[in-house]
Structure formats: C-alpha cells, structure tokens
Amino acid sequence: MNYLTVFPGQGAQKVGMGEEFKASSLFQEHLAETDHLLNYALSHLIARGPEEVLRETRQAQLALFVVETGIYRCWRAAGAPSPAAVAGHSLGEYSALYAAGVLSLETALSLVQKRATWMQQDCEAKPGSMAAVIRPQREQIQALCAETAEVVWANDNSESQGVLSGETQALQSTLQRIQREKWGKVIPLQVSGAFHSPLMYAASQKMATHLAGVFFQAAQFPIIMNSTAEALTDPEAIKSALIEQILSPVRWRESLLHAKVLSIQGVIEMGPSTLKRLVQQTLPELPVHVIQTPQELKEGLAFVQD
C-alpha cells in the first residue's frame, strides 16, 4: 500500500507520551541513546513532567522528536514497509528527515535542540502569540494580515482551519476584527511565542548559518516539505526548504493535497495525535491510523500490509 507517514509538531506533547512502549527494548534503547546524546534525562521529563516544564519550547520540541522517532523505529522494526512519502508539521519535519534517512539521529537531535533553544530565546525577547481560526474566510483574513507586518497567516492546516501568529497586541486587534466581521471562529492557542512569524527572525538566521555546515543525505523516499508543499528527495533542495521553515507558513493543507499526486491510499500518524483531524478535513476519503501504543502499531501494520 502507498501510505504517507506524518509527524505532529509542538503542541502535541503530553506527559507520559510513549509510556505504552516502555516494554519495548528498542524504545528503551532509543530513550537511553537520546538521553546520552543530550547529556541529561529528558526521558524522565517525558514520563513524569511537570507539564509546565515539558510545555516549554526548548523541552517540548526535543520530547516530541524523541518519542516520534522512537515509535517510528519500533514501527519499521516490526516489519512496516517503507512509506511512499513522509511529512512533518513544523517541528515534526525533523522527525520526517530522520525517518527518510536524510539526517542521523545524533544530527537531527542536535538540530532540534538548537532550533528549540533559539526559538525560545526569540519568544522571550519578543513576546507573541498564536490563534486558530475555524472555518476561516481566507481571502478576507489574508487581506487583513497584509495590512500589517506584525500578524501573519502562519499555518494553513486544513480546509477548515488556519492559524495566525504575531505580536500579542497586534494579534488581539486582528482577532477582534475577525470576530466582529464573522470571518471565522477564533481559538487562542497555548503557545510560548509567535512561531512562523517575523518574530522568529533571529532564530531563522542562526539556523540558516548553522545548516550551511550540516551534511544532508539524499532522502530514501520523498519528504513533503512545509515551506514548499512539494515532495523532495534532493539533499540541497531539502536543506533550502528547511532553512525557510522557521519563518515560512506551514503549508499543511497544500502538502496533503500534494500527497494525492503520489497516489497515497492512507495515512499513518506517529505519536500523540494532532494531525488526524486535519487530514480528515482535507482528504476525507483517506483512512488515518494513529500509532501511540503497541496495539495501534499492530493495527497499523495490518492496515498497510493489507
């Protein structure tokens, strides 16, 4: 079966995620290896919290990457065939790069750690926020964002959901206008900053400089990148798209639509689920399986091997 594997991004984290895989020696080895590479016990924070610490950008991004890639390793070790393509939502793109063999575990973990640290620094230096808009009037909202450089259309998540990001006061003013004009239902997000907005400029520059010296392997299968919504395998093209990622909108809806070109017949989501509903809103004809437990892994295997 041609299937797409997807990896969620920041916001999906929760204390105890991956706990059901603790009986797996491979998953335990993965946690021990990443703890060793980080030189601290991230696995303890994932298992026990506290939640307010796990929610911090510098911890949440690392924790999600570790759990997602650990479950993916169990998935492939259990005999799952290679996916037709992979994609990750924002932070999840680094899990996708690891899954496709573009980056080693050590390199990917190091990049995530730097990304999380630099983004946390930007969050503290320039406070901002984000809000989802349900059933958005896209043209009107995008025209409204064009009136100010302080608020951007950050995530095009599905046919039914978008996310705005920007400086806190400017964002509140924009949201009030959306509510007044009835251009969509506004839901503030519990995030630590204005991701995928100009407030992340310093982090994006640091990442661009650092990535210039990182070696990327050719992808073993296509990666549908956030910033291009195109399936890429060439290492330099992938690197260029990743450099753009911190500032660029997450073109998730377009990425899913692009997956149809690859004749995708189903979707597997790795780790704590935030993407299943978004896939169903954009590609309602495709079945979606979430892998958070060993039992779900068995069910997912039966699905892709059918």
Which positions are catalytic? 90, 196
For residues 166 and 152, is the Cβ–Cβ distance under 8 A? yes
For residues 69 and 30, is the Cβ–Cβ distance under 8 A? yes
Phi, psi dihedrals of residue 232, rounded to the nearest 5°? -120, 150
Nearest one of 133, 139, 175 to 158, comparing CA atoms? 133
Phi, psi dihedrals of residue 289, rounded to the nearest 5°? -115, 130
Nearest one of 254, 271, 202, 206 to 6, comparing CA atoms? 271
CA distance 290 to 280: 12
Q: Which two tokens stand for residue 229?
A: 């919504």
Phi, psi dihedrals of residue 211, rounded to the nearest 5°? -65, -25
Nearest one of 81, 21, 99, 100 to 303, comparing CA atoms? 81
> Tokens 């990327």, residue?
216
CA distance 118 to 112: 10
For residues 159 and 189, is the Cβ–Cβ distance under 8 A? no
For residues 154 and 143, is the Cβ–Cβ distance under 8 A? no
